[in-house]
Structure 1
């Protein structure tokens, strides 16, 4: 073995390649590795063996003690990886602490996401171990960029089990042309990972880590920024953001707030790291990765403390064509597709999509709850697979577990549960209608066509009815403008600043009280209003307290909370925010500020420059932008330098643009993101070839109010569910709301299909019909957990199908 490595490491041959050769040579003579169920563990053991044997070899460099050469770095690289992998193995074996287990479970991402983020953590830990080893050996600090070549970076990525680069050739599969993939991959054929799940949030401006690589702003206590220390997020929250009162907004309903949270869950999902084997983030006030606690203090006693904070999970490198410095910087993962594609209804992985479907019904529908229905027999979301679940329970009633949906956050509050339920019902309503209209459609076609319609409705409601109200019509026309067709040069991936700052503007619009209204849109006599913290993770309140209607009426029949610079965040969020099984009250404002620093977002002024807005250089200039002199003075006093202001805070206190709910900075950042999501989406509802002109004319009739009419017991609605109106004067009957006529989706059997007949159904899989080079093609695929054996595509030729249908083999888990 050692001889092999000695033989292979020679001029012109990299360690990366040498290790491959040694691995291959060893595998040929050791069948135990060939048959090993965990190939990576065997690879790891092999590398350990190689390094042990080779430790007795003569040094390759005589002056290694004084110079860092490539061979010694690679030796350290391998051993650093071993240490990192060992550390993360111990971390995985450690059972989660009781304080974190419940909340983590309720935001648990899919297994595919966990594997990729774990690989990225091993990658990052390897870099840190390597730098520490070099520091110890050579008595000086170096950056990873100075040490490593691209080949070294690729080796670490491969050892860490980060997914290999995705080649555009995989996008040539024809079934990816008719419907969007569940993971978002291959939406852009030349850049398959743009907008896909489990890829990094993109950077519109470079990250500003204190060490240039991964240490967040505020990590090194005492570090000066523009000559001053950054204020504690807790101090900023206490002195600037907390408010005991919220005024009502007489223009918009609370549905504007609820939809903002809902559609955010269709675009971004940033995961939090767990504590490690060595440190529990709930029991430390030290900055030790992955813990970045928020310093707090008691104004009366002067006692110092901290609020727990877990750093965001990293992402694997996806672009090996960028600079090494950029590739080695810590980037945060977006666990879901960036596209507005209703992924929170359908999921982001084949595994979750399969769990959510009613595959036994052969009807293209989604699975529903088999235990509970509402008083009119309408379905609820199905329960999660692992029971009993961690959701809160009625202490005096029948158990109601957590609901399951395309996004694991669906149980976070009652309005989210309600909107998820409405869209589940809408999918099944449309699927049933399409089955009646097109009796020859199989279940896969019904499911995909319905999913396509639901995705289009999410896009229409968001872009036509929601975004202009948020950023104002003028900013909408400036930053987004009319649709000009799909642009394959536009990257639709969610930006870090959008996910971490700009789209969190909505936290300042949350009301401390959740209203529940009766049929006359008055306070419900049986189900009173609830404090915000009584609505978290409580699906039992939907099932046992009147269904979705009381909460839904509260969303459309209650005015949203107004936002002003001196009344930003309700105390329910800054002083009484509770996470399940976390004994300490949390502060959402502090968490948002710390998250921005965790992600190393540049400051408020840098983002103003990015948007072409004037940098704020003086207190008077800041007062002009904020329009509240007292708030501007307090912020300037706390931060001491205007360039240090956190972007989330700066954007939040800006005076709102006319007809909007954001200031100029957030209007710009949200507008740019929405334009990218629209123009960079090959399957956008208005894009050429996605829907027929007749279908588009029907889709534009769709509205949230109509969907509420079709899927609840509510019979009177405002024409626009986002606008607040007085009942009954500003409401209309559901009979007056325009409907989508699904006849536009009627499809006659083609002559080819008549001649060749319907392709045969297969067990554990299905097909969709498409056309290629003027011929009818049946494209088969297997359900999650099964593999296709045989021809994936069969062609209708000469009145018969070219091949027998394939089979789906394997064990379904």
Structure 2
């Protein structure tokens, strides 16, 4: 296995809030990254972690530091060895034939709730943000993806001729005589940086007080007007507020401000950010008022970070079927750095994202005016027998709309995330993310395709091929396409497809059978399928696209793998997650099981970080604990596992009658006038 590269490069103007320069073997330069955000000392005894990650590892102070390169597990793969993207099948062509769900949704076979993708995104915004991401700083080099207007499977209008794509900004000193590397703008630790930020200047704005830059004037509490996240306008001057990605939000003062720039992307993410800001303030209120403001702040921050870690390792990862070796204590030889392979391939689980969130609560929470406002934003609201039943769609009007959390209310929204299962972690991505149509001007339409972007991002970052990456993670190579997918054939055998051109026949994507979580036949209308059978196998389509297993893009091969028993992942994705999450645990000197301050806080003040996500929701929203699932990471009311009948894998083993639902390509998502071309939840990734 290739050793992880530990080179560090000069980075200017990153989210770390400072310029940082590191080379192999060097300690942080005096007066640079560690000047404004070095760890504090709480209660005169316990060291606290820095904001940027600097100094967490005392032997290698730059490991996990914001503004340093993503380390690699495998050698970079560029066509010229330096930075030119490798050539492969057109990403939109692949997307239309592999990632196209044709409007039929398959759900988690373990009945894991939508918290899987919501918590996953909260973590992503805690430990990874590439340099060159739109609206977070300088844009990267334009490298748009061409689109074939005559593709018979593409049903979406795009007369721009391209999908917008920008390369990540390379680290200084790379890509010329050596392989191009990419920068992680934030710290590589599970440190609640999405709540607190990675710079002292951002945190100064977020804390109660005058925000004058003087730490002695900062309050222990986070600024939360009306118990909600602050807006950019909350301190009066929008121009001096921290940078936030605001998407297509027209009001520059409207976005909420948090530790991470991306918090406004969708209402679920906004809700989680609100939950943890409230939790911080709840903990502050439990501490003696005789204690200094700074000590109360740092204790609350330490507990919140521990809670984020505890939920991740005791609820989130187990729900996904990720089992790690037993914790053996802090290991200073482990680099927590988010690997390029994890950030660019392994953690791109975009197929999990539901198109909607179902909300059930007391109707008395809402006035008629509020219900009318919610309906105007596209929510379905039905009121009967004193209960309000809502469906919140992920759509243009609900993305980058920070008002929704206040209108829907935090408790019902967080409760709703746990009511339904997430969409299955596989190769299928819904059209809201895969084929979002936007209108730049009258008659000029474009499309955002997150699946195509995921493929191209792998080539942009020089990710090895699928088999090369398997070898890097200690897995054997796959020698056939059907060995990747676990299907019985990689040939087109279904009748009714165009002979010799089956890959371009829209009917190849038609479903002939669907199965629910119990393995029973179901329908599109029931919207409860966990497995489906199409006229063609995925293996056949992959073979027609790539020709050779050794040419498959790593991301495509990874999501095409058959899931391992008891897990929501195939072999490669599971290996990537296990390696990274083990490193984030074992290489963190302040991990909850290694940080004695937390034991003292429990003994002295009765504050225990060992709380489930459901516990935190109940404590901070007024939702009765019994109204929430014991483990909110599992959808309420159904079983957690299922085994499909043996013939469910056979494309030609069931009746060829096509199930009801959208035809290949689905029905085009209505173009949104004046919409901007975003990608992940209306934000580029």
> What TM-score do the two structures reach when normalised by structure 2?
0.70
Question: How far apart in 2 are the matches of 1:606 and 1:203?
Answer: 13
What's the counterpart of residue 483 of structure 2? 621
Change in CA separation of 1:595 and 1:325 when aligned onto 2, cut-off 3 Å: closer
2:95 counterpart of 1:237:
yes
- Write the mapping of 1:676-695 to structure 2, written as runs, cut at 5 A: 676-687=583-594, 689-692=596-599, 695=602
What's the counterpart of residue 671 of structure 1? 578
User: Which of the residues 283, 297, 317 maps onto 1:467?
Assistant: 317
2:405 counterpart of 1:542:
yes
What's the counterpart of residue 379 of structure 1? 228
Question: How far apart in 1 are the matches of 2:446 and 2:408?
Answer: 32
2:425 counterpart of 1:569:
no
Question: How far apart in 1 are the matches of 2:290 and 2:170?
Answer: 46
Question: How far apart in 1 are the matches of 2:559 and 2:483?
Answer: 16
Question: How far apart in 2 are the matches of 1:662 and 1:556?
Answer: 21
Determine which structure has the larger helix proportion and give its number. 1
Question: How far apart in 2 are the matches of 1:538 and 1:359?
Answer: 27
Per the TM alignment, residue 725 of structure 1 is displaced from its structure 2 partner at its CA by 1.2
What's the counterpart of residue 440 of structure 1? 290
What's the counterpart of residue 804 of structure 1? none
SS in structure 2 of the partner of residue 235 of structure 1: helix
Per the TM alignment, residue 408 of structure 1 is displaced from its structure 2 partner at its CA by 0.6
Change in CA separation of 1:563 and 1:185 when aligned onto 2, cut-off 3 Å: closer
2:353 counterpart of 1:510:
yes
Provide, for residues 609-662 of structure 1, a one-character-per-residue CA deviation record: whole Å limited to 9, x for no partner: 122222112344335379987101111210112111111111111111222211
What's the counterpart of residue 366 of structure 1? 222
2:80 counterpart of 1:211:
yes
Greater CA drift, 324-333 or 614-623: 324-333
2:255 counterpart of 1:402:
yes
- Write the mapping of 1:151-230 to structure 2, written as runs, cut at 5 A: 166-167=26-27, 175=40, 178-218=47-87, 230=88
Provide, for residues 273-317 of structure 1, a one-character-per-residue CA deviation record: whole Å limited to 9, x for no partner: 679xxxx99xxxxxxx81211121123699992111110122346
What's the counterpart of residue 503 of structure 2? none
- Write the mapping of 1:111-130 to structure 2, written as runs, cut at 5 A: 112=17
Per the TM alignment, residue 530 of structure 1 is displaced from its structure 2 partner at its CA by 3.3
What's the counterpart of residue 338 of structure 2? 494
- Write the mapping of 1:320-469 to structure 2, written as runs, cut at 5 A: 328-360=178-210, 363-369=219-225, 373=226, 378-383=227-232, 386=238, 391=246, 401-434=254-287, 438-469=288-319
Question: Is the Cα–Cα contact under 8 Å of residues 319 and 634 in structure 2 kept in the other structure?
Answer: no
Change in CA separation of 1:673 and 1:626 when aligned onto 2, cut-off 3 Å: farther
Runs of 5+ consecutive residues of structure 2 not aligned to the other structure:
1-11, 211-216, 366-379, 490-532, 641-685
Question: How far apart in 2 are the matches of 1:405 and 1:364?
Answer: 16
Question: How far apart in 2 are the matches of 1:205 and 1:308?
Answer: 28
Change in CA separation of 1:333 and 1:656 when aligned onto 2, cut-off 3 Å: same
Change in CA separation of 1:248 and 1:536 when aligned onto 2, cut-off 3 Å: same
What's the counterpart of residue 133 of structure 1? none
Change in CA separation of 1:454 and 1:577 when aligned onto 2, cut-off 3 Å: farther
Across the aligned residues of Structure 1 and Structure 2, the Cα RMSD in angstroms comes to 3.7
Question: How far apart in 1 are the matches of 2:50 and 2:437?
Answer: 37
> Taking CA–CA contacts closer than 8 Å with sequence separation of 6 or more, which of the two structures ends up with the larger relative contact order?
2
2:154 counterpart of 1:296:
no
Question: How far apart in 1 are the matches of 2:305 and 2:166?
Answer: 33
Change in CA separation of 1:247 and 1:359 when aligned onto 2, cut-off 3 Å: same
Per the TM alignment, residue 483 of structure 1 is displaced from its structure 2 partner at its CA by 0.8
Question: How far apart in 2 are the matches of 1:523 and 1:484?
Answer: 50
Question: How far apart in 1 are the matches of 2:440 and 2:618?
Answer: 34
SS in structure 2 of the partner of residue 584 of structure 1: strand
Per the TM alignment, residue 691 of structure 1 is displaced from its structure 2 partner at its CA by 3.0
Question: Is the Cα–Cα contact under 8 Å of residues 393 and 400 in structure 1 kept in the other structure?
Answer: no
Provide, for residues 353-399 of structure 1, a one-character-per-residue CA deviation record: whole Å limited to 9, x for no partner: 11111135864111123xxx3xxxx333343662699858999xx99
Question: Is the Cα–Cα contact under 8 Å of residues 15 and 67 in structure 2 kept in the other structure?
Answer: no
Question: How far apart in 2 are the matches of 1:542 and 1:620?
Answer: 45
Change in CA separation of 1:699 and 1:657 when aligned onto 2, cut-off 3 Å: farther
Question: How far apart in 1 are the matches of 2:142 and 2:252?
Answer: 35
SS in structure 1 of the partner of residue 469 of structure 2: helix
2:450 counterpart of 1:591:
no
2:102 counterpart of 1:251:
no
What's the counterpart of residue 168 of structure 2? 312
Question: Is the Cα–Cα contact under 8 Å of residues 577 and 588 in structure 1 kept in the other structure?
Answer: no
Per the TM alignment, residue 561 of structure 1 is displaced from its structure 2 partner at its CA by 1.9
Provide, for residues 591-621 of structure 1, a one-character-per-residue CA deviation record: whole Å limited to 9, x for no partner: 1111111001001111211222221123443
- Write the mapping of 1:522-541 to structure 2, written as runs, cut at 5 A: 525=383, 528-533=390-395, 534-541=397-404
Per the TM alignment, residue 168 of structure 1 is displaced from its structure 2 partner at its CA by 6.1
Question: How far apart in 2 are the matches of 1:445 and 1:701?
Answer: 21
Question: How far apart in 2 are the matches of 1:263 and 1:273?
Answer: 17
Per the TM alignment, residue 501 of structure 1 is displaced from its structure 2 partner at its CA by 0.8
Change in CA separation of 1:483 and 1:695 when aligned onto 2, cut-off 3 Å: farther
Aligned length: 527
Question: How far apart in 2 are the matches of 1:655 and 1:500?
Answer: 20
- Write the mapping of 1:66-145 to structure 2, written as runs, cut at 5 A: 110=15, 112=17
2:547 counterpart of 1:640:
yes
> What TM-score do the two structures reach when normalised by structure 1?
0.59
Question: How far apart in 2 are the matches of 1:315 and 1:635?
Answer: 34
Question: Is the Cα–Cα contact under 8 Å of residues 381 and 421 in structure 1 kept in the other structure?
Answer: no
